[in-house]
Amino acid sequence: MYSVITYYNVITIYKEDFMTNIKKLLQILIPGIILAIIVYALFLFFGGTILYLLGLKYNNLLSLAKFFGIFLILSMILDFIVVCFLKVLKELRGLTDTQYNLLYLTLDIPLNMIIIGISETLIKGVSCSMLTAFIFSIISYLFGIFLEKKSK
């Protein structure tokens, strides 16, 4: 009888811990999703406006939203890889900040242009010239540098 009561108490404790963990997870997950939607909407609005002014053509808002979704996903992944590579290179080779920034510039702008080209190819209702992609890549690089300096 004692082992049954102990087993019941252990299961009850695990259920309470599980429910507490689920509640904690939801408390983090829901605001995170809301924040991601807000950031995506802001990027879609401002990035779409800048690209439209630079010459981006799109059929409807849904194709523009898909374009920026693909662009954001690819750029976050590839930018993470580039930044990690450059930080390792900076540590191993002892690069100065100027050398690091020049390397990042030479990798970031062409990479953004390639990502815009891939996104444009995958979404049929969007067309973007290479000049537009180049200017947008420079603007996004400068904006990233501005945010980086402001955060320090």
Supply the pLDDT for residue 67: 93
Candidate from 1-5, 39-43, 123-127 with smallest mean pLDDT: 1-5
Question: What span, in angstroms and rounded, lies between the C-alpha atoms of 36 and 42?
Answer: 10
Backbone φ and ψ for 124, nearest 5 degrees, come out as: -75, -25
How far from the centroid of its chain's Cα atoms is residue 11's Cα?
41
Supply the pLDDT for residue 20: 78
For the whole model, what pTM was predicted? Answer: 0.76
Q: Which residue has the higher pLDDT, 99 or 20?
A: 99
pLDDT tens track for 54-88: 999 999 999 999 999 999 999 999 999 999 999 99
Question: What span, in angstroms and rounded, lies between the C-alpha atoms of 71 and 110?
Answer: 14
Kindly indicate the confidence band of residue 21, based on its pLDDT and cuts at 50, 70 and 90.
confident
Cα–Cα nearest to 69, from 6, 122, 136, 129: 122
Secondary structure (DSSP) of 15-78 = HHHHHHHHHHHHHHHHHHHHHHHHHHHHHHHHHHHHHHHHT-EESSHHHHHHHHHHHHHHHHHH
Rounded to 5°, the CA angle 52-53-55 comes to: 65
Question: What span, in angstroms and rounded, lies between the C-alpha atoms of 11 and 66?
Answer: 46
Kindly indicate the confidence band of residue 144, based on its pLDDT and cuts at 50, 70 and 90.
confident
Residue type, 131: L
